[in-house]
Amino acid sequence: MNINWYPGHMKKTMDNIKASLKLVDIVAEIVDLRIPISSKNPMLNDILKDKKRIILLNKSDMANDVRNKQWKDYYEKKGYGVVVIDALHAKGFDKIYPVAKGLLKEKFEKLKEKNISSKTIRMMIVGIPNVGKSTFINTISKRKSLETGDRPGVTKSVKWIKTKNDLEFLDTPGVLWPKFEDENVALNLAFSGAIKDEIMDIENLCFKFIEKLNSIDKNILKNRYNLSDECFSDTIFVMEQIAKNRGAILKKNEIDYFKVSKLILDDFRKAKLGKITLETVDDIEGIEDEN
């Protein structure tokens, strides 16, 4: 898959994140719970080194609840601070401060020794495209912010978003590059909408998506589109039946594969197929060390 992430882009991103690192206490990587492996950037380890970090597992409203819990446990066992959130509806936000504070114990102890009573935690948000960085920052600033403004005393004027509970965010998130080299990862990113459809063969993508969904649970498509059991013998047949049921038909009764493909993928991206997690903790075996 041909995506525009050149080494130059990566270096610039790294430099930007590195430059902002000294302004913050902790870095929060936002990950999409529907694809918690594919939407995580393993190269972040190299940039952050021993900087404290937290994972915000986002889009919890779109992913399977049981799986959400498994992913939280999984990343906690790996030693991360983890918070499950729904950035669109401002769910889970209250847990971010306490989890971050737990990781920054030393900083607060040192401040206490010096008789400084600051409670503020400054956080940088990072993540690959489409995981919900802007939504998170917008939602948290709308619902909870008291003020946003320039902080004097730093060389470059940086905007901060302050929240009621002593959390401050850099107002622009760091956009990380995804790891496309792995075919499965690239497909998951495309399914989730992280890669623009325009640059892909959407019919082919949908074909693979149907196969993926059916490997998870055939009832998902069956229930949503009223499909008969016999059509599951063949993925094209599944597409055809959905097209017929939904009127994705061209002149002369031909199937409109483009239209039906878009319809199915859009339904997934709008969570109309239900709460679906495409990656399970079992899938991670073998690539474990990267994360």
Ligand X SMILES: Nc1nc2c(ncn2[C@@H]2O[C@H](COP(=O)(O)OP(=O)(O)OP(=O)(O)O)[C@@H](O)[C@H]2O)c(=O)[nH]1
Q: Which of 81, 127, 174, 178 binds ligand X (CB under 6 A)?
A: 127
How many residues bind ligand X (CB under 6 A)? The answer is: 16
Which range touches ligand X (CB under 6 A), out of 83-91, 101-109, 214-222, 260-268? Answer: 83-91
Q: Which of 34, 59, 72, 179 binds ligand X (CB under 6 A)?
A: 59
> What number of CA atoms fall less than 13 Å from residue 155's CA on the CB side?
4
Question: How far is residue 159's CA from residue 99's CA, in Å, rounded to a whole number?
Answer: 24
With 0-12 / 13-18 / 19 or more C-beta atoms within 10 angstroms meaning exposed / middle / buried, residue 6 is exposed
Please state the closest distance from residue 233 (CB atom) to ligand X, in A. Answer: 34
SS3 106: helix
Q: Which is nearer to ligand X, 63 or 104 (CB)?
A: 63
**Does 133 interact with ligand X (rule: CB under 6 A)?**
yes
Closest residue by Cα to residue 24 from 117, 151, 165: 151
DSSP state of 94: G
Taking CB positions, which residue lies at the least distance from Mg ion?
Answer: 134
Cα distance between residue 188 and residue 256, in whole Å: 24
**Does residue number 62 form part of the binding site for ligand X (CB under 6 A)?**
yes
Q: Per CB under 6 A, does 132 bind ligand X?
A: yes
Of residues 39, 135, 163, 241, which one binds ligand X by CB under 6 A?
A: 135
90 lies in the binding site for ligand X (CB under 6 A) = no
Region of residue 130 (phi > 0: left; psi between -120 and 50: alpha; otherwise: beta):
left
Residues of this chain that bind ligand X (CB under 6 A):
58-59, 61-62, 86-88, 127, 129-135, 175
